[in-house]
Structure 1
Amino acid sequence: MSHIVVIGAGQAGSSLVAKLRKDGFDGDITLIGAEDVLPYQRPPLSKAYLLGEMELERLFLRPASFYADNNITLKLGQRVTGIDTAAKTVSLGDEVVGYDQLALTTGSDPRRLPAAIGGDLEGVHVVRGLGDVDAMAPQVREGARALIVGGGYIGLEAAAVCAKRGVKVTLVEMADRILQRVAAPETSDYFRALHSGHGVDIREATGLERLEGEGGKVTRAVLSGGEVLEVDFVVVGVGITPSTQLAELAGLDLDNGIKVDGQGRTSDASIWAAGDCASFPYRGRRIRLESVPNAIDQAEVVAQNMLGAARDYVAQPWFWSDQYDVKLQIAGLNTGYDTVVTRQGEGLQRSFWYYADGQLVAVDAMNDPRAYMVAKRLIDMGKTADKGVVADPAADLKSLLKA
């Protein structure tokens, strides 16, 4: 009987094994995860869960009974130490598990501050897994002083949660503006004003020289200009890197992640990859998407292809971020944009439409689900949007779909 092994028990791994069973695979399935809890959703960790608004059980993607009822073997709290592609086995310490097909859904790892500048002090946190948030939660309390390192979406979401809890927040970003790598200046301006209005002290073009501590715990931060801040804890949000260590040990091709073809197959015909860890062909280039929708959609296509579907994965990138009472929804990829058109709404409602050579390529929509949905449909269909209609708040956006 055929045996499929999946390494990585996150969103992609859980979606992949569920799709295998849904599509009729009746062989053995083993899902291996390094954490000792059931596969869970990560986005609420740094928001509802950290705020105490969501219990642990509500984080789980599927109950334990799902895996038992579907005859899926869970090996949780276990780390794979190696893959033997010739023997088709994976090693978990002294245990060896054979496979006929293998899927890598190993996700990504947060970038950490070097120990040389105090990154290993107690009270310095990253926001990635359940253990990270559980360790940080007791410190997120009214009157505490926090330093957020990094002005991307991870850092801004952490700043929002801390500020809502009454923490005095300072955020430092080395680049000239927050969100510089991922968004237009208009979006940066919007979120700078939003956070400043909630009391967050944003320092752009400012680096962290080092962290200092007493008794092994962080107590001070020295910024690039020499200023010293007294801090109770630090949150590091400086990005993530694809988890490719196992793939590298197995000799698989890498290219900004585990390199897969359009169907999700790696350079080894028996091994597949999906989710944050995988880079794949997209409109003439190779990309890697760090998002829940991509993890689910790509994993389900890989599951189908493991069963012989030979179907290419057609990505339709979309993302979201919740900060205070603002929901940001992003459709498309803004790479190479040359023009941004602003659509003004009431209050905090706003959307920024990105164009490249006259073609709509992406949108950032704040509290504007209609703009998001219209833009996403246009982008998915390969259509553009009349800039005059977009810029006119009185114009009906749905008319763009009929053009």
Structure 2
Amino acid sequence: MVDADQTFVIVGGGLAGAKAAETLRTEGFTGRVILICDERDHPYERPPLSKGYLLGKEERDSVFVHEPAWYARNDIELHLGETVDAIDRTAKTVRFGADGTAVRYDKLLLATGAEPRRLDIPGTDLAGVHHLRRLAHAERLKGVLATLGRDNGHLVIAGAGWIGLEVAAAAREYGAEVTVVEPLSTPLHSVLGPELGNLFAELHRERGVRFHFGARLTEIVGQDGMVLAARTDDGEEHPAHDVLAAVGAAPRVALAEAAGLALADRAHGGGVAVDGQLRTSDPDIYAAGDVASFHHALFGNQLRVEHWANALNGGPAAARAMLGRQVTYDRVPYFFSDQYDLGMEYSGWAPPGSYDEVVIRGDAGKREFIAFWVKQGRVLAGMNVNVWDVTEPIQALIRSKAQVDTEALADPHVPLANLVP
């Protein structure tokens, strides 16, 4: 029975952690809630860092999950700029801060997120090498892009994933020259496959972005601490004033690993292994957001989802489970992206090799369409591009696991809702 004598500790001050704290209060928990964040900024959302805020279209304050006064008003003990060093599962304590403060917990939530992967090549210590994960990164990169645009400078981006492409779009809007180096044959290859990846390549080429596919950076060349060029493994050299490493993110599992919690296989993205209630191998410790890996019954696979919606929904789900509510976390993965005049939403999970065909509804040439990744007539994923208010029926099709008529699926005149059993 949850009561006022209990203490719930949340490690990680991102969206998942902040929404978990909020949910504990809205669900009526009157005990102690401690939220520990290793950043000095109040909990914030990350999508604006590569979208509206980076472009200068959104104010800094717009990224925060709650206004600063909200935490005190809701009796949330917020510790900013403090790192949790250890979890003692026997004593049920966490140790944090410079003075090694130890606090006991009844339930613990790990929402430690992920960190950008690093380029393991010479030259990454130069001043013009960047990552984009935190608000401080975005603030710095925003100034860099403005300077590059003003001075006709060159930005080289390692990686043609979502972050790489969104920053490429922002850089071009500032007026910077952009080259994207990607080892695979198309952008977003591991998510969209070659069929739709090419669409994004053409979108960016039309705006002046140069791509170098089938190559990896091997060295960042500099002088007097500044970037001059980026070299690739096929002998090319690209002029550069700045370099962005956008080569993915790794779950922050060190704390969980040191505590002896079960981890997911790296082949499935790693992370802290959780069950359908987001509970770890310790029944009093939960995990949510980017760091959590769970078996998704809908797709029959172990998944670790790094996107905004997973943090938005996973934090509250974990909070309810910590309160003893009956929870089954099986949300359809969802994310969105904005690049130039293209807006898109993606629902589902369909990596290359998992589907038989891609069915297009609408006009891909005009970039107004819905794409469906289909296996044996069953929709695994759907992406709507500049077509709106269709997420609900797309997710309903995915959840139904029903075989659909692919001709009807491709026909814009057939309402999607009619195809859902």
Q: Give the TM-score band, short-chain normalised.
A: over 0.9
1:121-140 counterparts in 2 under 5 A? 121-140=126-145
Q: CA deviation at 1:313?
A: 1.2
Q: Quick check: 1:7 aligned with 2:23?
A: no
Specify the alignment match of 1:84 in structure 2.
88
Deviation string 1:81-137 (CA, Å, 9 cap, x unpaired) is 1111111111113222221111100000110112x4212211111111011112222
Once residues 163 and 286 of structure 1 are traced to their aligned partners in structure 2, the CA distance between those partners, rounded to angstroms, is 37
- Worse-superposed segment, 63-72 or 116-125: 116-125
Residue 100 of structure 1 is aligned with which of 96, 100, 106? Answer: 106
Classify the secondary structure of the residue corresponding to 1:181. helix
Specify the alignment match of 1:194 in structure 2.
203
Specify the alignment match of 1:180 in structure 2.
189
Residue 311 of structure 2 is aligned with which of 295, 298, 304? Answer: 295
> Which amino acid in 2 is paired with 1:338?
D
Once residues 31 and 68 of structure 2 are traced to their aligned partners in structure 1, the CA distance between those partners, rounded to angstroms, is 20
Deviation string 1:149-175 (CA, Å, 9 cap, x unpaired) is 101111111111101111100001011
Classify the secondary structure of the residue corresponding to 2:205. helix
Specify the alignment match of 2:326 in structure 1.
310
Classify the secondary structure of the residue corresponding to 1:81. strand
Specify the alignment match of 1:326 in structure 2.
342
- Worse-superposed segment, 182-191 or 161-170: 182-191
Q: Quick check: 1:232 aligned with 2:220?
A: no
> Which amino acid in 2 is paired with 1:331?
S
- Worse-superposed segment, 245-254 or 227-236: 227-236
Q: Quick check: 1:338 aligned with 2:356?
A: yes
> When the two structures are aligned, how many residues end up with a matched partner?
401
Q: Quick check: 1:25 aligned with 2:29?
A: yes
Classify the secondary structure of the residue corresponding to 1:176. coil
Once residues 134 and 40 of structure 1 are traced to their aligned partners in structure 2, the CA distance between those partners, rounded to angstroms, is 14
> Which amino acid in 2 is paired with 1:270?
D
Specify the alignment match of 2:258 in structure 1.
249
Q: Quick check: 1:264 aligned with 2:281?
A: no
Do the aligned partners of 2:274 and 2:287 also contact (CA within 8 Å) in 1? yes
Q: Quick check: 1:374 aligned with 2:374?
A: no
Do the aligned partners of 1:121 and 1:217 also contact (CA within 8 Å) in 2? yes
Specify the alignment match of 1:49 in structure 2.
53
In structure 2, the gaps of 5 or more residues are 265-269
Specify the alignment match of 2:71 in structure 1.
67
Q: CA deviation at 1:384?
A: 4.2
Do the aligned partners of 2:275 and 2:295 also contact (CA within 8 Å) in 1? yes
> Which amino acid in 1 is paired with 2:129?
V
Do the aligned partners of 2:377 and 2:406 also contact (CA within 8 Å) in 1? no
Q: 1:184–1:372: structure 2 CA closer, same or farther, 3 Å change rule?
A: farther
> Which amino acid in 2 is paired with 1:3?
T
Measured on the aligned residues, the alpha-carbon RMSD in Å equals: 1.5
> Which amino acid in 1 is paired with 2:419?
L
In structure 1, the gaps of 5 or more residues are none
Q: TM-score, normalised by structure 1?
A: 0.96
Do the aligned partners of 2:6 and 2:32 also contact (CA within 8 Å) in 1? yes
Q: CA deviation at 1:394?
A: 4.1
Q: CA deviation at 1:397?
A: 3.4
Q: CA deviation at 1:206?
A: 1.9
Deviation string 1:312-344 (CA, Å, 9 cap, x unpaired) is 212221111111111111011114111111123
> Which amino acid in 1 is paired with 2:356?
D
Deviation string 1:348-392 (CA, Å, 9 cap, x unpaired) is 212211111221110122111255443222113333432112223
Q: Quick check: 1:357 aligned with 2:376?
A: yes
